[in-house]
Amino acid sequence: MATLGAYTKKHKVTVVGSGNWGSAIAKIVAENTKEHPDLFEEEVQMWVFEEEITVPKTSKHYHAGSKFSTQPHKLTKLINHFHDNVKYLPDIALPTNLIANPSLQESVHDSSILIFNLPHQFIGGLCDQMKGHILPYARGISCIKGVSVDSEDVRLFSESIGDKLGIYCGALSGANIANEVAQEKFSETTIAYDPPPMDSRNPTPKATTPQGPTPSSSQLDLTAINEHKDSKGKTSKVKLIVPPSDLAPIDHNIIKTLFHRPYFHVQVVSDVAGVSLGGALKNIVAIATGFVAGLGWGDNAKAAVMRVGLLEMVKFGKMFFSNNVQTKTFTEESAGVADLITSCSGGRNYRCAKMSVERKVSIQEVEKEELNGQMLQGTSTAEEVFHFLKARGKESEFPLLVGTYRILQGEVSVEDLPDLMEGKKK
């Protein structure tokens, strides 16, 4: 693991977001900053959207004679008092060095590592509030699953954050159910982080000969470069600021040290697009798997849908992010095949699709009845991906992704899915 060595400053870490997944990730990060004081400041800030709540009677912290139980209090006060997010991750002990903060600007102040974990629709507004309040050389990790798709383009949430704030941002995704992770049940995740060239501390020789360096012995100092490539291999419009030399460079070792736990194993890769696409496209495949499960077609049918779905996920990545996406991200990493298996075994998209077939109602009706106001990601992603493919005349290349959308629209029946997967016209 990385050590501080000659570096005299430590990384300060902030988690932006405090839902169940945000709190679970904040718990992990705070455990690791405490264990590695040579690299990180021990205290971790967690930005919390402030609200007043009363401790539920089901909470282990509820006591009828306590003012903290019988009266409404600000959520940040309750988290910092009980070291427990009593609303979004109840009865999970949070580290005492994790500090809930209702001020977004204060929580990100002087932080060199920013971890984003919030609903994607709030990215733009919160980044606007953060501008001018973060270190110009900060780096980020987005734990927001999925991508933004319209008929014009596919955008990674990590790059939307990076573009807004003028920083580089990687992505975390995997087969990670928040409550299981928080309960320290074993799981894996994938973090995609492709360190910008200017973050390197090692100048690279410009050229060599068989006898050694060229006569000029000149070297290319990567820290002098402020450009980096985006997920499509193009030069990003963001001009990055080089981190100071007295901070340890944020590389794969630092990222793994910050996130890896005995119960939460981390693989760090460089394929940000592949990791992000896996978190989005698997939701469409999960809906298709739920459809065949609802028909009672058994495990063979579910496995067939998952196999074809995985192939189409790889194909989508290679077709539209050809410069960066790696097949093995989908076939070997938690963010690919493992997350697909979890989502197609019991995730919300799978369960709602299954119930819609069993009840003979639309998936939208099930969504309203079962999700308490939350929205399925698979249905909206299926629509977005369909229009993106249609705009390019590529529908026939992705029969499962397109067929699932057509079933959702009522154009074809669930029973047609095997033929649709083979590309037969319906």
Q: Which residues are catalytic?
A: 282
Q: What CA–CA distances, in Å, run from 389 to 155, 160, 233, 269, 423?
A: 14, 21, 21, 28, 15
Over its C-alpha atoms, the chain yields an Rg (Å, rounded) of: 23
Residue 350 CA to residue 291 CA, distance in Å, equals 8
Q: What are phi and psi of 277, to 5 degrees?
A: -65, -40
Tokens describing residue 44: 């971790």
Q: Which of 252, 257, 261, 116 is nearest to 187 (CA)?
A: 261
Strand 187-192 relative to strand 204-205: parallel, antiparallel, unpaired?
unpaired
SS3 238: coil
Indicate the helix (H) or strand (E) that contains 280.
Answer: helix 272-294
CB 272 within 8 A of CB 170: yes
Residue 246 CA to residue 249 CA, distance in Å, equals 9
Helices 123-130 and 157-165, packing angle to 10 deg? 30
Eight-class DSSP state of 198? G
Burial of 92 (0-12, 13-18, 19+ CB in 10 A): buried
CB 93 within 8 A of CB 60: no
Where are the alpha helices (H) located in 60-103, listed in sequence order? 67-70, 75-82
Tokens describing residue 81: 């008092």
SS3 13: strand
Number of H helices, E strands in the chain: 17, 16
Residue 402 CA to residue 115 CA, distance in Å, equals 34
Q: Which of 197, 154, 170, 340 is nearest to 272 (CA)?
A: 170
Distance from CA of residue 210 to its chain's centroid?
Answer: 45
